[in-house]
Amino acid sequence: LTLSGIAGLVLSVGMSVDANVLVFERIREEMEKKATPRLAIRNGFDRAWTTIFDSNLTTLITAIVLYWVGTEQIKGFAVTLIIGLAISLFTAVFVSHKLFEICEKTRFLSLGMADYVNSAKRAVFGAADVDFMSYRFACYAGSLLLIAIGLIATFLRGSQILDIDFNGGTSIVFSLDKGLPADEVRTVVQKAFDKDQDDLPIQSSLINVEMKDAEKNSVYKLDVSLKDQAEVASRLLKGFSEESSARLVTYDVDYSTPDPQSSLGVSSPAKLVSFQENKTEEAAAKPTDVTSSSNAEVKSKVDLSFHKSAVGAGKAKINAKQLREALSAAATAAGLTLVDAQIELYPKGLENWTPDSSLGAEEWTVTIPFNAADTNTIGSKLKDQIRTQPVWQSISKIEASVASEMQQRAWAGLALSLIFIVAYIWFRFQNLAYGIAAVIALIHDVLITLAFIAVSHWLFRPLGFLQIEDFKISLTIVAAFLTIIGYSLNDTIVVFDRIREVKGKSPRLTKEMINSSVTQTLSRTLLTSSTTIVAILLMYFFGGEGIHGFAFCLLIGILVGTYSSIFIAAPILLWIVERQQAAKAKSSRRVASAP
């Protein structure tokens, strides 16, 4: 389960909680009308169904579009969300309904509910509806100011706001000779990868990797923004040589000097490692022609046995890719050329092994196209190299071009999702204004969340006690943006659905109707938001570095999404509808005054 999958799971849980809160709020309203428990349950579920259906279906549309055009990471988010929505919808509407009915019939259930939110509202604002619309212009100004600051901060940071996922870099997996806590390893890495040659900060991320037969906390994967693999390896080696109680794992290889007569098939059985030259059948039939025939194909076979450099550390495993790279580097150091296609490998003790397998072995039989003397030189260079260079489990380049493609597909998915959302809301609410207002609120939420990410570059030092870091946009943050869009959309749909209910068949939508609708849904809005925020706060403070940026983004996004559903989406809907109503009235007057 990736972070994208976790993001989908978080949104699914949030939607499930909200569906239940919607039902409970409707049941509470029915009980306030003095309905019997059985009638309150039936009407509560019936009245909540429309809102639950609309909010889940709009989020489902987003998930389907993202799965259709998204990258592998985004597809993980979409699949988890689709499954989660289907399960939560079935559970909230059918399973919960049946459980309520059974409990009511058996007298096992009491429908009495505390209404703290509305009690607090009445204590502060009285029994009347809160005039939320009177704050709309101040909220517009505040939101525009935050968005402007965010856009300026994003522009000033430039490409530095993008993480390695989008800028490219190097990924390396390394092993330590003993287990170290992640925090200690992270300290070493941060010192080793502080600034680049241009005195710009180097981006890095570190995660622990669990590997079979490896000591716990001894294998780590490091992604850095440096593109020079040699520099990355050098910095890492220097860092663990100077700053850590652990050292990078190095190997040793056992072999012995090949017998000069091995070209004739003579070898010493007492040697741990033996080299043997094999020729073509024609050359073998005429051994006297070996030195004179330029067409004779010479191959040498050598047995290699690897173990860790530390005394008594035991055997060590190396995979085919690592061995090929080491042999090629040793040949280059010996002034020879050796490419992968010329290396024949066979591991000892591995069943069902294939040449592209990542499985490691302690002992290998290697065949290379060189005579005994050259093979001996390569073996000597290999031994020196293996002893002095750390063993990288893998080292590879993170391509920026691939990251650019992922970025484009992510934006395409978001754009298509917004188009389908507008279309569906237009169809359900019979007015384009609802769809436009919802999308404006979504864009507002994403831009303000982006603003907080952008300004974190200047705030993480003075506000470090809040665990704020220099956050950057990565695939993890993209997953958080998708979660925010889903959550905010759900929040907005709930408010819009109540507005539609309050408006009824009235030809006009008024400010009083908006205030009444928002006040009626205030309890549900705050209950759902507070439940989700508590869970995210726990993730933020105790979830570790891997999900820290994700949790920060979600925390800001859900706070902003709750605010926007009340102070941005609803007022914008009113503004658009008032323009529509004014235009319609003007058109009617023009028709009436026509001769």
- What is the model's pTM? 0.71
Per-residue confidence band for 122, with pLDDT thresholds at 50, 70 and 90: low
Q: Are residues 467 and 566 in the same domain?
A: yes
Residue 515 domain-assigned (yes or no)? yes
Average pLDDT over residues 488-496: 87
Q: Tell me, what's the pLDDT at 294? A: 42
The answer on pLDDT for 441 being more than 90 is: yes
Q: Which residues contact 340 (CB under 8 A, 6 or more apart)?
A: 324, 328
The answer on pLDDT for 296 being more than 70 is: no
Q: Tell me, what's the pLDDT at 268? A: 37
Q: How far apart are CA 49 and CA 90, in angstroms?
A: 11
Residue 594 domain-assigned (yes or no)? no
Per-residue confidence band for 267, with pLDDT thresholds at 50, 70 and 90: very low
More confident residue, 288 or 519: 519
Per-residue confidence band for 121, with pLDDT thresholds at 50, 70 and 90: low
Q: Are residues 221 and 287 in the same domain?
A: no
Residue 323 domain-assigned (yes or no)? yes
Average pLDDT over residues 541-556: 81
Q: How far apart are CA 249 and CA 292, in angstroms?
A: 46
What's the chain's average pLDDT? 79
Residue 490 domain-assigned (yes or no)? yes
Q: Tell me, what's the pLDDT at 401? A: 55
Q: Are residues 433 and 575 in the same domain?
A: yes
Which DSSP category does 370 fall into?
A: S
Of 183, 214, 249, the position where a domain reaches its end is 249
The answer on pLDDT for 453 being more than 90 is: yes
Q: How far apart are CA 184 and CA 177, in angstroms?
A: 14
Handedness of CA 497, 67, 413, 73 (dihedral sign): positive
What dihedral do alpha carbons 590, 592, 593, 595 form, nearest 10°? 120
Percent of residues, the chain, with pLDDT higher than 90: 13
**pLDDT, tens digit, 9 for 90 and up, residues 525-546:** 888 888 888 888 888 887 766 6
Q: Answer whether 47's CB lies under 8 Å from 26's CB.
A: yes
Strand partners, 253: 306
The answer on pLDDT for 355 being more than 70 is: yes
Average pLDDT over residues 71-87: 81
Of 249, 274, 289, the position where a domain reaches its end is 249
Residue 393 domain-assigned (yes or no)? no
Q: Are residues 112 and 178 in the same domain?
A: no
User: Mean pLDDT: which of 142-151, 290-299, 405-414 is highest?
Assistant: 142-151
Residue 395 domain-assigned (yes or no)? no
Identify the CA nearest to 565 among candidates 25, 18, 26.
18
What is the CATH number for 144? Answer: 1.20.1640.10
Any idea which of 27-41, 261-275, 464-478, 508-522 has the lowest mean pLDDT? 261-275
Q: Are residues 346 and 417 in the same domain?
A: no
More confident residue, 98 or 285: 98
Q: How far apart are CA 251 and CA 363, in angstroms?
A: 13
Side-chain-facing half-sphere of 308: CA atoms under 13 Å: 15
Q: Are residues 233 and 288 in the same domain?
A: no
Strand partners, 223: 171, 205
What is the CATH number for 178? Answer: 3.30.70.3220
Average pLDDT over residues 399-418: 70
User: Mean pLDDT: which of 148-152, 251-255, 509-513 is highest?
Assistant: 148-152
Average pLDDT over residues 155-162: 86
The answer on pLDDT for 266 being more than 70 is: no
The answer on pLDDT for 589 being more than 60 is: yes
Place of tokens 């800028």: 167
The answer on pLDDT for 137 being more than 80 is: yes
Average pLDDT over residues 375-399: 80
Q: Tell me, what's the pLDDT at 39? A: 87
Of 186, 220, 249, the position where a domain reaches its end is 249
Secondary structure (3-state) at 129: coil
What are the phi and psi torsion angles at 506 (to 5°)?
A: -65, 135
More confident residue, 215 or 91: 91
Determine the structural domain holding residue 263 and report its residue range: 253-388
More confident residue, 319 or 284: 319
Q: How far apart are CA 512 and CA 219, in angstroms?
A: 62
Per-residue confidence band for 287, with pLDDT thresholds at 50, 70 and 90: very low
Domain count for the chain:
3
Q: How far apart are CA 546 and CA 194, in angstroms?
A: 19
The answer on pLDDT for 573 being more than 90 is: yes
Average pLDDT over residues 251-275: 50
Interhelix angle 475-503/432-459, rounded to 10 degrees, is: 140
Residue 360 domain-assigned (yes or no)? yes
User: Mean pLDDT: which of 171-185, 192-206, 268-282, 288-302 is highest?
Assistant: 171-185
Which DSSP category does 162 fall into?
A: B
Burial pattern 1-35, b for ≥16 Cβ within 10 A else e, equals: eebbbbbbbbbbebbbbbbbbbbbbbbbbbbeeeb
Fill in the amino acid letter for 214: A
Q: Tell me, what's the pLDDT at 172? A: 87
Q: Tell me, what's the pLDDT at 256? A: 60
Q: Are residues 261 and 353 in the same domain?
A: yes
Q: Tell me, what's the pLDDT at 318? A: 80
Average pLDDT over residues 150-164: 88
The answer on pLDDT for 295 being more than 50 is: no
The answer on pLDDT for 262 being more than 50 is: no
Q: Are residues 227 and 265 in the same domain?
A: no
The answer on pLDDT for 359 being more than 80 is: no
Place of tokens 């994003």: 154
The answer on pLDDT for 310 being more than 70 is: no
The answer on pLDDT for 285 being more than 70 is: no
More confident residue, 59 or 494: 494
Per-residue confidence band for 71, with pLDDT thresholds at 50, 70 and 90: low
Residue 289 domain-assigned (yes or no)? yes
Q: Tell me, what's the pLDDT at 110? A: 67
Q: Are residues 305 and 367 in the same domain?
A: yes
Side-chain-facing half-sphere of 524: CA atoms under 13 Å: 32
Q: Are residues 315 and 430 in the same domain?
A: no
Q: Are residues 425 and 546 in the same domain?
A: yes
Q: Are residues 31 and 121 in the same domain?
A: yes
Per-residue confidence band for 550, with pLDDT thresholds at 50, 70 and 90: confident
Average pLDDT over residues 369-384: 86
The answer on pLDDT for 417 being more than 50 is: yes
